Amino acid sequence: MVRWGMIGAGTIGREWMADAIAAQPDGELRGIASSDPQRARAFAQEKGIPVAYESVAALLADPDIDAVYISTTNDLHKSQTLAAAAAGKHILCEKPLALTLDDAREMVAACAAAGVVLGTNHHLRNAATHRAMRELVTSGAIGDVQAARVFHAVHLPPHLQGWRVKRPDAGGGVILDITVHDADTVRFVLDDEIATVTAMTASQGMGEGVEDAVMGVMRTAQGRLVQFHDSFTARHAYTGFEVHGTDGSLYARNVMTQQPVGTVVLRREGVEEEVTVAPENLYVRSVRQFNAAVSGVGQPAATAHDGLCSLAVALAALESARTGCIAHVPAV
Ligand code: NDP
């Protein structure tokens, strides 16, 4: 039985993760802590969580907590992960792991030294659609993969138009919010690493001091080209993910989303067939795999290493947009 505490009483916790943690037969959501004790109490009451702690330190001092889920703003992930690791808690941390690669490396090293599991909550690789695409790619169903295209332009709802669109110090901006997910999904579906990135950003009505749109191209270690478009201001766009190989193409629509929805079509020689997928709540699957890892079975769906890799790609996109040059993704 994995006994969980939540750090941060925010939207992702409310909409998805509290329920996903509570849904596990081998887990229990015991408590929550917030920078504001009143917010923790209100959240606990809303979700039926037994304990609302007065502080994050109080949660970490509780020996009845085995694992924490960190979903505060991006600037706080590092200090809270280091504190949790020092307290011997396993950690499922939201993406991006940190604001710099050095900080993320320090988190990974601290968790390894403390002997606790660190996972990154990249939800998309838990989607039945993306898993089916990876299976088709790695089994050779579309031949040699040459290119992919990621359509991840969305409209940020009003209740999320806070730190994400106006606080660079908190890790705001579409690249650290969405491109980081693209990076993880591309790595997962193509079973490949991203080696270089070129990107251009824009502010198209929402971002204040941070970019709210980005387009770019990645080149993978195996030489594939990946085009991406991420935005907070695309009110009417579908999301999607395409993979093009020598023997076929995959067209996935409405798949860059939190919901267990979307379709995947395999197109070969002009013939289209819809791929059968068995949808499951992405976050429930993420927590299930994390609980198993804590019990010594397998690894989190997205490991600490995956979190490092996706952050390195996002930081390279930011660097490319700033310098106007192709950015190399450093080895992690
Ligand atoms: P929110 O802005 O809703 O919450 C972020 C943090 O802000 C909360 O954890 C909370 O921390 C604090 N907070 C909440 N309400 C208030 C308030 N009224 N006034 C001041 N502070 C408040 O962001 P999200 O929940 O959307 O995102 C949190 C993290 O999760 C980010 O790292 C983000 O990148 C990630 N995320 C991941 C997703 C995924 O699918 N993997 C999807 C969405 C987000 P505290 O209570 O401690 O103050």
- Model confidence over 155-200: pLDDT tens digits? 999 999 999 999 999 999 999 999 999 999 999 999 999 999 999 9
103 Cα to the center of ligand 1, angstroms: 20
The residue whose C-alpha atom lies closest to atom 40 belonging to ligand 1 is: 123
Beta bridge partners of 83: none
- By most ligand atoms within 8 Å of CB, the mutation choice from 21, 36, 43 for ligand 1 is 36
Mean pLDDT of 67-83: 98
1 Cα to the center of ligand 1, angstroms: 26
pLDDT band at 221 (very low <50, low <70, confident <90, very high): very high
The residue whose C-alpha atom lies closest to atom 28 belonging to ligand 1 is: 71
| Nearest C-alpha neighbor of 71 from the set 3, 119, 115, 2 | 119
What is the per-residue pLDDT for 281? 98
The residue whose C-alpha atom lies closest to atom 16 belonging to ligand 1 is: 10
| Nearest C-alpha neighbor of 192 from the set 156, 245, 229 | 245
How much is the mean pLDDT over the chain? Answer: 98
pTM over 0.95? The answer is: yes
Phi, psi of 2 (to 5 degrees): -100, 120
115 Cα to the center of ligand 1, angstroms: 27
Give tens-digit pLDDT for 252-295: 999 999 999 999 999 999 999 999 999 999 999 999 999 999 99
Mean pLDDT of 117-135: 98
Contact (CB, 8 A) for 264 and 249: no
Long-range contacts of 168-172 (CB under 8 A, 24+ apart): 168/209, 168/210, 169/75, 170/73, 170/74, 170/75, 171/73, 171/74, 171/75, 171/96, 171/99, 172/74, 172/207, 172/209, 172/210
pLDDT band at 91 (very low <50, low <70, confident <90, very high): very high
Q: Is the CB of 36 under 6 A from ligand 1?
A: yes
What is the per-residue pLDDT for 150? 98
Mean pLDDT of 108-130: 98
Give tens-digit pLDDT for 38-62: 999 999 999 999 999 999 999 999 9
The residue whose C-alpha atom lies closest to atom 22 belonging to ligand 1 is: 10
CA–CA–CA angle 261, 263, 267 (5° rounding) = 165
What is the per-residue pLDDT for 45? 98
pLDDT band at 239 (very low <50, low <70, confident <90, very high): very high
- The rounded percent of the chain whose pLDDT value lies above 70 is 100
270 Cα to the center of ligand 1, angstroms: 45
The 3-state DSSP class for residue 141 equals coil
Q: Is the CB of 72 under 6 A from ligand 1?
A: yes
Q: Is the CB of 71 under 6 A from ligand 1?
A: yes
What is the per-residue pLDDT for 261? 98
What is the per-residue pLDDT for 275? 98
